[in-house]
Structures are given as structure tokens and as C-alpha cells.
Amino acid sequence: MAIFVIVWGFVGAIALGMEGEGLTAEAWKQLIVSGIAQGSMYGLIALGYSMVYGVLGFINFAHGEVFMVGAIVGYFTADALFTVGLWESNFFIAIFLVIVASMLSSTFAAVLIEKIAYRPLRNAPRLIPLITSIGVSFFIQNAVLLLVGPAVRSYPSAPDWLREQRDILGFQISGTIVAVVVIAAVSMIGLWLFVERSVTGRAMRAVAEDKEIAALMGINVDRVIVMTFAVGGAMAGVAAILWGLLFRGVSYITGFLPGIKAFTAAVLGGIGNIVGAFFGGILLGLFEGIGPNVVLRGLAWQIPTALGITLVIAGGVVVFAGRALHRNGVVVLGAATILLGVAGILGWTVVIPGLSQLKDVVAFTALVLVLIFKPAGLFGEQLGAEDRA
Amino acid sequence: MTTDTMTAPTAPPRSRTDVDWSRVSRHGALAGLTLVFIASIGMVTILNARVLIDPWLTLGYLSLLWVPVFFGFTAASEVTPDGGVAPVKGERDLVAGMVTGALSGLYFTFFIVIIDRFDLTDIFSNLLPRLVELLTFGKSMGATAAIWIVGFAILGLVGGAAQVASPKVRRALSWAVAGVIIVALLEAVITDLSQGLHVEFITDFIYAPNGGLITGSAVILAAAFGAAGFQSSGKTLDQRRQERMSQPKEVLVRKNTIAAVLTILAVIFVPMVVGNLTNELFANVGLFVLMGLGLNIVVGSAGLLDLGYVAFFAVGAYTTAVLTSPLSPYWMPTLELNFLSWEGWLIVAIVLVMAAISGILVGTPVIRLRGDYLAIVTLGFGEIVRILFLSDWLAPYFGGAQGITNIPGASVGPIEISGTNSQAIFYLIAVFVGIAIYVAWRLQTSRTGRAWSALREDEDVAEAMGINTTAIKLTAFVTGAILASFAGMVFAVKVGSVFPASFKLLVSIIILVIVIVGGMGSIPGVIVGAVVLIGVLGGPTQPGLLQEFGQFKLLIYGALLVIMMLKRPEGLWPSMRRQRELHSDEMSQDAWLTGDPGTDLEEEDA
């Protein structure tokens, strides 16, 4: 379904481009590049959701807040380093220190949450830890608000030599985005090696598969669960600094939207699937970068009557095919095509003012569509038998 | 899914003097951290404005003083391992409590020294000089340290002593403290009520002219409550309920009827004697009772965790606004919300239909999802609805960020009901709440209600028993949506304007907290939850009794949600069925221990 939306949007945008109102090729490339950078950040947050769901079978709603705590602590570290002058004089050492500080605080927050709020609920019905995590998320948000105040604080901007636009493979890319993608890729590879190669990683996979059997095999399940939260928290900490580099502003509500989007990414990639989570993040980032422009402008697409009639007929065929095959997604796709055709025939155009306001609607729509139509994800879920229900 | 890690049962202390020092140091550190947190979020400074006992105790200091008592109590208590020997009570509990208190005082003094020496306001915005002033009492650092350490040691000792004291003494003490604090906190309402009844001389006697109890009256109150506590039977609420339930049915029915009649009489007559402010408070509570009852059907009865419930509230409010406001940008012929003419009932019907439609629109795609995904999707829908109401795109219909103002209010014939008349608003809400309670109660015992419980317990089995799960879930969604939209209608009438900012995710969460604190699936529970939370702490924008708590109420809501889930998932006033579900393990264990095979409950599959 999400793919369908993207395709529809692309077609609309291309049509717009033909009319000369759409984005230029250069603007397109920009959107794609920034989409990938944002997406790799979402991917890192998504890992935390995915791993916890894989092991414990519930949505850790407070993970966005873990990210936020990292971003806030990272800000204060970055600010201190900027005052000392290290940020400008030796950016790589500075950013390394900031990442370490952010990772440590996020990891600490994640582990603490697990110990206080989730561990006593190990065997509770699924919704109970979810409700608890909503409470935790609420608590952390407001605690941070009361501790450091409501102001949005801005990371110091990256040094000029890094922000400079460079020509890489025909794309105009700023050094910041290269840094973001490289940091994300390195963390991701590190995590993948950890989960696939190390003994602890193997224990994690075993626990995700079946806790009881894992315990019988001599694995300390509680320790592995703490490790899962720690690793997820550390990745959120890295993502928090990427957020600082890309968007700079952080405050106590910074965690909510990225958290929701990252959860969408985790589901899109197949929950419990680590590589899937990362690529789900990149897909979502791309969709978010391109989506609002394309999907919403696509609605203003003028369709010639002949094409409209063709679309209605084609849509009808697709609906019948979908019904015959018992695929609801296909039926919806057909119905949407019919609607598009009818809109074209009647000569409707929907011009939407204030497009940027609807950016989050696109993000939430993506969430809703992914969860409804593709809850198993694009790359397959990896859940233990008990969590699948 | 049984992965219980067996914690090795630690041997209970052998004598009355054997103190568990590692436990004490742990609890001392925790208490210190709690104190630092409370001071850092600005509770002490802000709540200091509220005087409890004139002139020496303010709410600000109270927010610190409970900490050593509580941790002194927990440091002295010990969990008896299953089948183990209960630890001996004695001097060790007193020592443990006292040392815990002293440790927390020591850590807290470190904190005061730090904030006195270094200016940390760049990072922690609440560590202001005013806080240092309040915490040092204007004295030297040495004197401050002595005050906190010795004072907290004494309070810790009290906490530890509570472990040793006989239950009767403990009850007397806790009743005395709780009674004095509650009377002090409820000053506004009690004053208001006494003015309504023309017995101001009582409150003039109890309270100081500029707020707070007079020390003398505090002592008298403490003595009175203490005596009452000493005499009380000491049964917990749950035990009382158990007893009540085991009475013969006729007695129970008679008692329930009496209680219901008394409640109805109170609802009718109390608003007449209290002032506008208190009625406003009642109206807010009623509004949230209405929404809580609706969400209770969705979450409590049918087990569908709806985090976008505020969307239906918004639909009701906006429908009313569009139909009745002369300033609504789109709909021109305005209708009058008069409950004695057809126009009023037309509006009610339209609100109902819109709510049903939106319930079906949201419900249909989500009800096939597994429970936790459903929660997130409904959250998404709720946010989408809010952003759409806010957008410029739909501004020609709903006014965008400016919202719709000048909603004229409702009327019953010649009687005007609008925001300025809290009493009338309260009666309007009370009528809706009454209808909602009746509907919820009848639904609970109906075929539909039983189908909901079956669904919540096990969806597959329910389906196998011939329940149309899709239809029954949709019914729950739509019923919940209709109740919320009525709340929205009353809200629009009460406030006189609707803005997208009134329909944030926050509202959904607060309603969820009400349902959970009260007890999922329990109608009286929801009422209790709304009264306790909205009445005392306040709603998302509405102030409660403790207006000073405004800044902290969301923090407290979050904490309450976690604490309830951990300690009492069935809520304050649970439905019998839910209590049994959540404690089936314990109950079957009890039954097994007492050798009563008749009450053997099947172990629930988590």
C-alpha cells in the first residue's frame, strides 16, 4: 500500500513536472539525499523498537524518550565543547565525545526503564507493558521539561568546511550529510556484527526465538534482556546526535515524532528483523522527504477525460481481480484507481494550501497504512512463537 | 512464557539487632536521589506558595518531608521469601529507618552545597537562588546540614518505627497525618461549602486568614483523626468489598439502591449550595467521567486500547460548533441548541450520526489488527484528525488554528446554559453522565457486554463460540465514539469556542489514566478515577483542587500510570471479573494452599 502511494505520487509529480510546475531534477536529488540521511537516523532508532519487540513482544513506547534524553545530554556536551573551542578546532574528536556522552546517557536511561518499569511485568498480558511504557514516556517527557525547561536548544552548527556542498556521483551533497550517513552505517555494521558474531548476540537471538528454551540452554535471560535494552539505547543515542547534526534543535518533545516514525520504520522492515529495521528507516526517510511534496501535489493532478475513463475501467478490472484472489490490498488499489479516474473525468483538482502543515499527516498516514496493510513488514518478521499471536 | 528467575531466598535476619546494611545504604541513596529530583524540578519553590499549617508547613516542604519517612519504612521492611520465616521485628527496624533518613539528609546536604556554590541554571532551569534560600532557611551551611540530617534521621526513625508499631498505633498515626493534610488541602472547597451552608464560623476557626490551618486546629484535627483511626477496624477497601459482595442478594440490592438514591440527591442538591468555582470543578469532573465511561467500554470491556479517543471528542465539539456558531465559516443557517425544540434534538442527532460514522471509519480498518498495533494506529488517527482541523486546507470549514468561537451555548426553553453559568452546565453534564452510566450498565450485562468480555479473554475462542467479532468490536468503538462526541458537544457549549489545541494526544492519555486508575471495566471505578484525578489534579487545561500542581500534574499522571500498572493493574475500584483475571495465579495458589478444589481457577495464559 505504501508502495502504491509512492508510485501514485511519483506519477503525479512527473505529470506536474511535465507541466513545468514540479520540482527540478536537482531538487529531486536533494530530496532523495536528505531523505536517506534522515532515514538512516530513523533506522537507528527503529533498531531499539525492533529488538525489544523481538525479545519481549511489546512496543516500548518510551524509546522515543530514550532518544530525546540522548539528544539533550548530547546538546549540553556539544555546547560545552563548543565553548572550549574543540568543536571548531577538532570536530571529529568533539563529535566522538558527544556521541559517547549521548550513547552513555541513552543506554543508562533505557536500562533504568527496563529495570524499574518492565522487569516486574515480564509475564503480564501484552497490553500492560505497553500502557506502562506510555506512562514512562509521559513521565520522562515531563521530567525533562521540568528539569531543563521548555526552551528549544540548538546544537552548534558543524564547521564551515564540513557543511560545504560537494559533488559526489552527480549529487550535490553537504559534508554533514556524508558524516551522518557514515556514522549511521558504521554503527549499523557494528551492531550487526555484534548480534551475528558475538556470544551475547547469539544469546539475544536465542532469547528472541524462545525464552524458555534459551533459559534451559543456560542463558541468563534477564541479562540478555538488559543487553537488548542497552544496545537499543546506545543506537538511539547515536541517532540523537545525527538529529543534532541534521536539525540542530532539541527540546523535551523531540522524542515523540521521531519515535513514532521509527516505530513505523521498524514495522515496515519487519519487526524483530535488525537489517529490516535499518532499511525500513531509510525507506521511510525517503518517503518522508519525497512524500509530502509528491503525494499532496499529486492530488492536484489534472487528468484528461480519456485517461480518466481508462483508469476507471482498469481500476474495475483490478477490483475484480483482487476480489477473485481475496487480496484486500489489491481491491483498495483498484478502488483508488477508479476514484482517481472519476476525479479526472469530473475535472476535479484539489489544491492544498499550507502544504508543509500536512507533513506530519503524511507521516501518520504512512504509519496507519503500514500497520494496516503491511503489519508483517517488507523483509519479514522475526518473532518467537509466543509473540506472534 | 514462564521465565521466572529464581532469586535465592536470603536468610531472614536472625535477631532483633541484625541490620541489613546494604539494603539501608541502597534505600538511603534512593531517598537522596528522590529528594534531589523533587527539588530540581522546582516542586519545593513553586509549591511553597501553598501554606498547609500556618506558619510553619508549606506544601513545598511537605513534598520533601514524606521521602525519608517512606524510605525509612521500606528500608526497614523486608520481603519474606516464599515459605521462609518472617524476619524478626525490633530495634533493627528503628536503626535501619533512622540511618536511611540520615543518609538521605546527608546526600541532600551535598546537593544544597553544590547548588549554592555553582550556578547550574544554564542546564537545570529550576535550580534558582530562591531554592537555596528555601533549603538553607537563611542559615549557615553547617546549621543547614545539621537541620536536614538530624531532621531526616528523625523522620526516617518514624518510618522505621511504623514497621514495629502495632497496627492500631500505625493506623492512628497515618489517619492523623492524612486527615490533617487532606483538610488543609481541601481548604477551598470546604470554605466554599461552609459559605453555601452559612456556617462560615467553622472555617474561620480552622483556617488562618491568609490560608493554611491554624496550628491549634491542626493539633485538634490530628487528635480527632488519630482517635478515629485507632478505633477503625483496619479493613482494606477490598476486604470491605469482599464482605459486601458476600451478603445476601436482597440486602445488597437494598443497600445499592439506597446508595444510588443518596448519590442522585447529592448530585441534585450539592451544586445549589456551593459556589461557581466548585461547580466548575464538578463540571470538569463530569466531562471526564463521560469520556472515561466511553473509553471504558472500548478499553475496559472490549479490550481494545484506543489511544486516539480524543478524535471523537473533537468530532462532537466541532460538529456542535459548526452547527451552532454564527461565526463558523462554512455552515450558515445556525441552529439553536434548545432541548425543548426540534432544532436542539436535530443537533444531538447529527452529532450522534457523525460520531457513529467516524467510529466506523476509524474502527473498520483497525479492528483486525493485533492489540498493540491497534493502539498505535488509533494514535495515528487521532493525530491526523487534529492536524487536519489545524490545517489551512480545511480552515474554510473549521477555522484552522483560530478555531470556531462564539458558540452560543445551549438552552432548555427559557433557561440558558452556557460557560458563565457553571451550575447549569453541571446539571447538563450530569444528565448526560446519568444516561451514559445507564447505557454502560445495561450494556455490561447484555448479550453484547458478555460478548465483549469473551472477546477480551480469548478472541479465537469467542469466534469459535459464534460471536461475530468484527461486528462486536465495531459496536464497542461506535458506542465509545458516541459518548465521547456527547462530551465534545457539552465541551463546546461550556467553553464557547473550539480550538485544535484542545484535542491533543494528551487528552486521550489522561482519559486512559482515569480508566486505569479507576479500574478497567468498572463503572464506579471510572467515576472514582475521574473524581480523584480531574478533581484533585485537574484535566489537560482545567485546573483541579490543587491548582499549584498545574505544572506537575502531567508528571504525576505518567508516574501514576506506571505505578498502577506495576502495583495494582486492576485499579482502585476494580470490576470483580478483572480482578480475578489479573490475580488468577494468586487465587488459584490460595485455593490450592487451603485445599479447596472447588475454587480452582484455570491458570491464565499470559
Instruction: Give the DSSP letter string of B43-57.
Output: HHHHHTTSEEEETTE
| Residue B24 burial class via C-beta count within 10 angstroms: exposed 0-12, middle 13-18, buried 19 and up | buried
Q: How does residue A225 score in pLDDT terms, banded at 50, 70 and 90? A: very high
What local confidence, expressed as pLDDT, does residue B46 receive? 87
Instruction: Specify if B242 maps to a domain.
Output: no
Instruction: Specify if B595 maps to a domain.
Output: no
Residues B181 and B128 in one domain: no
Residues B508 and B474 in one domain: yes
Answer whether B557 sits within 8 Å of A263, measured CB to CB.
no
Answer whether B552 sits within 8 Å of A146, measured CB to CB.
yes
CA distance B441 to B449: 9
**Could you say which of A139, A151, A364 has the minimum Cβ distance to residue B380?**
A364
How many domains does the structure of chain B reveal? 3
Domain boundary among B233, B256, B287: B233
**Could you say which of B380, B512, B557 has the minimum Cβ distance to residue A368?**
B380
Q: Would you list the domain boundaries of chain A?
A: 25-302+351-387
- Interface ipTM: 0.87
Residues B494 and B565 in one domain: yes
Residues B202 and B321 in one domain: no
- Tell me the nearest-neighbour CA distance from B309 into chain A, angstroms: 15
Q: How does residue B151 score in pLDDT terms, banded at 50, 70 and 90? A: very high
Instruction: Specify if B246 maps to a domain.
Output: no
Q: Which structural domain range is residue B487 located in?
A: 276-588
Residues B501 and B403 in one domain: yes
Residues B92 and B194 in one domain: no
Judging by DSSP bridges, how do beta strands B51-54 and B57-58 pair with one another?
Answer: antiparallel
Read off the pLDDT of each residue in B410-417 and give the average, rounded to a whole number: 81
Which residue(s) pair with B498 in the sheet? B404
Residues B294 and B405 in one domain: yes
The CATH classification number of A25-302+351-387 equals 1.10.3470
B371: left (phi over 0), alpha (psi -120 to 50) or beta: alpha
Interchain contact A211–B (C-beta under 8 A): yes
Residues B292 and B155 in one domain: no
> What residue has cell string 518514624?
B158
Residue A358 has pLDDT above 80, yes or no: no
Distance in Å from the first CA to the final CA of chain A: 23
Cis omega before residue B55 (within 30°)? yes
Residues B538 and B457 in one domain: yes
The pLDDT tens digits of the residues spanning B63-99 come to 899 999 999 888 887 666 566 666 667 778 888 889 9
Residues B291 and B335 in one domain: yes
Answer whether B558 sits within 8 Å of A138, measured CB to CB.
yes
DSSP element (H, E) containing B223: helix B215-231
Among A343-347, B166-170, B346-350, the minimum mean pLDDT is found in A343-347
Average pLDDT, chain A: 82
| Chain B: residue whose CA lies nearest to A118 | B566
What local confidence, expressed as pLDDT, does residue A296 receive? 58
The pLDDT tens digits of the residues spanning B463-519 come to 898 888 889 999 999 999 999 999 999 999 998 889 998 898 999 999 999 999 988
**Could you say which of A126, A136, A212 has the minimum Cβ distance to residue B372?**
A126
pTM recorded for the entire structure: 0.86
Domain boundary among B148, B165, B182: B165
Residues B158 and B63 in one domain: yes
CA distance B271 to B273: 6
Interchain contact A142–B (C-beta under 8 A): yes
The pLDDT tens digits of the residues spanning A161-205 come to 877 777 777 777 888 888 899 999 999 999 999 988 999 999 988
Among B562, B580, B583, pick the best mutation site for testing chain A contact (most A Cβ within 10 A).
B562
Of B548, B603, B559, residue with least CA distance to B581: B603
- Tell me the nearest-neighbour CA distance from B594 into chain A, angstroms: 25
What local confidence, expressed as pLDDT, does residue A324 receive? 76
Residues B346 and B481 in one domain: yes
Instruction: Specify if B597 maps to a domain.
Output: no
Answer whether B558 sits within 8 Å of A146, measured CB to CB.
no
> What residue has cell string 458558540?
B407
Answer whether A358 sits within 8 Å of B387, measured CB to CB.
yes
Domain boundary among B129, B148, B165: B165
Check which CATH number belongs to the domain holding B499 and give it: 1.10.3470
